[in-house]
């Protein structure tokens, strides 16, 4: 039987895309090998970016190998994220360089390019059995401080990385239910247009 989180697709897509999802429950007993994390970030490395600027940066804190950094980063998360993210084996902060290194001018695609890099690393994570949940709910000024982010960079999202665990590991009824609910998306006809806005592809 298919996993409830595997996408109910209208067109055939790569397994890593179909099977990727964002858990809150992480197996507390499984640590993530550094070698697998390196593969995950190697995937981000090869993402495209405007003028090959590669504006993405990652500050990674594994609970067992960088306990102080993990605790500090956890502290920056909003309460509703901290509740479940405290049990993930790895937390990371994604940052983006807002200026183009060569010219110092604003890089309007910095966040967009960081998104592509995280897209790549998320699919690589799926392929090695890992799962990632990204979080927008965190204290940005706090993250700048604890991760020592230089002024030309900006925090983008935080993320938890680990192996998906049983929904019953979660304290919140709402979170447990979300963990078992199928993933829902708008149909292609709502977001892909043929030639001009609104004409379904």
Per CB under 8 A, contacts with its own copies among 94-133 are 108-109, 111-120, 122-124, 127
The nearer residue to its own copies, 40 or 169, going by C-beta atoms, is 40
Single out the residue of 1, 29, 141, 184 in contact with its own copies (rule: CB under 8 A): 184
Place of tokens 């090869």: 46
- Work out whether 200 is an interface residue with its own copies (CB under 8 A): no
Q: Compose the 53-82 pattern: x for residues touching its own copies by CB under 8 A, - for all others.
A: -x-xxxxxx----x-xx-------------
* Closest to 129 (Cα-Cα) out of 10, 11, 39: 39
What pairing do the DSSP bridges indicate for beta strands 90-97 and 131-135? unpaired
Query: Token pair for residue 196?
Result: 């001009």
- Work out whether 158 is an interface residue with its own copies (CB under 8 A): no
- Work out whether 4 is an interface residue with its own copies (CB under 8 A): no
Cα radius of gyration (the chain): 18
Single out the residue of 11, 102, 105, 180 in contact with its own copies (rule: CB under 8 A): 11
Q: What CA–CA distance (Å, rounded) separates 66 from 160?
A: 14
Type and span of the H or E element at 159: strand 153-162
């Amino acid at each position: 039987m298919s996993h409830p989180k595997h996408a109910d697709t209208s067109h055939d897509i790569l397994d890593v895309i179909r099977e990727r999802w964002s858990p809150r429950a992480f197996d507390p007993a499984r640590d993530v090998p550094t070698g697998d994390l390196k593969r995950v970030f190697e995937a981000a490395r090869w993402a495209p970016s405007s003028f090959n600027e590669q504006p993405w940066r990652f500050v990674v804190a594994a609970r067992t190998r960088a306990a102080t950094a993990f605790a500090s980063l956890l502290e920056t998360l909003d309460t509703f994220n901290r509740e479940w993210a405290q049990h993930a084996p790895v937390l990371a902060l994604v940052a983006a360089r807002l200026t183009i290194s060569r010219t110092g001018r604003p890089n309007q695609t910095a966040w967009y390019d960081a998104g592509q890099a995280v897209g790549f690393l998320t699919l690589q994570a799926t392929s090695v059995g890992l799962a990632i949940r990204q979080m927008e709910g965190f204290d940005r000024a706090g993250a700048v401080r604890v991760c020592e982010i230089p002024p030309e960079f900006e925090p983008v999202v935080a993320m938890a990385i680990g192996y998906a665990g049983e929904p019953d590991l979660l304290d919140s009824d709402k979170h447990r239910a979300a963990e078992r609910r199928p993933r829902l998306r708008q149909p292609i006809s709502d977001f892909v247009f043929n030639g001009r806005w609104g004409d379904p592809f």
